[in-house]
Amino acid sequence: MTEPTVPEPYVAESPGREAWRMYSRNRTALFGLGLLFVILAITFYGSFFYAGDAYDIVWAPHEPPMVTPEFPLGTDYLGRDIVTGMLKGGGPTMAVGAAAALITMVIGVSLGALAGFYGGWIDTALMRFTEFFQVLPALLFAMVLVTLFSPSLWTIAFAIGVVSWPQTARLTRAEFMKIKELEYVTAARAIGAKNTRIIWKVILPNAAPPLIVSAALTIGVAILFEAGLSFLGLGDPNVMSWGLMIGANRDQLLDAWWPVTFPGLAIFLTVLAVSLVGDGLNDAFNPKLRER
């Protein structure tokens, strides 16, 4: 005897679930997510298969790709294996990108929230401060910070965060200024909620969608920053990274195209994946804008 089927009660879809439903309809966005997973999986698991040190000289220099089976992407100007370098260099690049994006979001959201919520002179002061930071060319400022405080993964992430937060702050401010005028904020005030509670528990969750999108795009920008710094030789000297590989092999680029080409391709694909995910999230949160 079969049990009688109980009709499932209708449950309103949670915002996250709805966003995912919209997201999963978007083929480009799914491609971005898949690409991101593939890149993460390859750099994570790949380093187990290629246990060697990326700095080790293992073969003759400038071995072209697809010639020797052990070195499918060839070797660089010193005879270091490019596959090993790419696998070992991916982790730090992405970690710095993620950490820098986190720092950017923390600074940007805090300052933007304060300015947008309180308004008045706090807003004026914070916005002047933000404008000041926007005057400094970001990469140059990051270069100065990294050199002054000697390059390590942490100082790099910190420097990128310090130069990238103004846009996040502006976005957060705009969102806060919009949301604080809405009825449910007034309602929260009416029942006597404290400002900190209103900021964290009422406004921030409602401002989350655009901030999540901005966080995703910030990761992409941070990865490009890290790559640029490493390319200039301002990366952590003890850690292999994609930008460093390009920078190190740059002088010989006319003798061997592969040591500079493949790491760049890796940076491009990673940033592409992250930004496609960001665009997909944006579309998922704003279904009406999808016609564009």
Partner 1 sequence: MTASFFIRRIAYGLLLMLGVVILNFLLIRLAPGDPAVVIAGEMGGIDAQMLAAIRADYGLDKPLPTQLWIYLSNVVQGNLGESFFFNQPVATLISARIGPTILLVLTAQVLSIVIGMFLGVIAARKPNGPLSGFVSVFATIGYAVPVFWTGIMLVILFASVFPIFPVEGMRSVRLRDAGPIAQFFDVAHHLVLPAFTLAIIYLAQYARLSRASMMDVLGSDYIRTARAKGATEQSVLFKHALRNAALPILTVAGLQFGNLISGALLVETVFNWPGMGRLAFDSILRRNYPTVLGVLFFAAAMVVAANILTDLSYRWADPRLRGRE
Site residues for partner 1 per CB under 8 A: 131-132, 134-141, 143-145, 147-150, 220, 224, 227-228, 231-234, 243, 246, 250, 253-254, 257, 260-261, 264, 267-269, 271-272, 275-276, 279, 292
Cβ proximity to partner 1, 117 vs 231, nearer residue: 231
Q: Provide the CA 223 distance to its chain's centre, in angstroms.
A: 6
Q: CB of 118: closest distance to partner 1 in angstroms?
A: 22
Report whether 226 contacts 156 (CB < 8 A).
Answer: yes
Task: Report how far residue 278's alpha carbon sits from residue 212's, in angstroms, rounded to the nearest whole number.
Answer: 8
Q: How far is 288 from 290, CA to CA, in rounded Å?
A: 5
Q: Which whole-number Å values give the CA distances from 189 to 28, 115, 173, 183, in the listed order?
A: 42, 18, 19, 10
Structure tokens belonging to residue 171: 């976005």
Gap between the Cα atoms of 10 and 60, Å rounded: 67
Q: How far is residue 271's CA from residue 94's CA, in Å, rounded to a whole number?
A: 10
Residue with Cβ nearer partner 1 (206 or 261)? 261
- Smallest distance, Å, CB 39 to partner 1? 12
Q: How far apart are CA 68 and CA 55, in angstroms?
A: 19
Nearest to partner 1 of 43, 93 (CB atom): 93
CB of 96 to partner 1, least distance (A): 14
CB of 69 to partner 1, least distance (A): 26
Our CB check for partner 1 shows the closer of 193 and 253 to be 253
Q: Which residues contact 67 (CB under 8 A, 6 or more apart)?
A: 74
Q: Which is nearer to partner 1, 113 or 267 (CB)?
A: 267
* In the complex, minimum distance from the CB of residue 148 to partner 1, in angstroms, rounded to a whole number: 4
Q: How far apart are CA 111 and CA 129, in angstroms?
A: 10
Supply the minimum distance, in Å, between the C-beta of residue 270 and partner 1. Answer: 8
Closer CB to partner 1, residue 42 or residue 253? 253
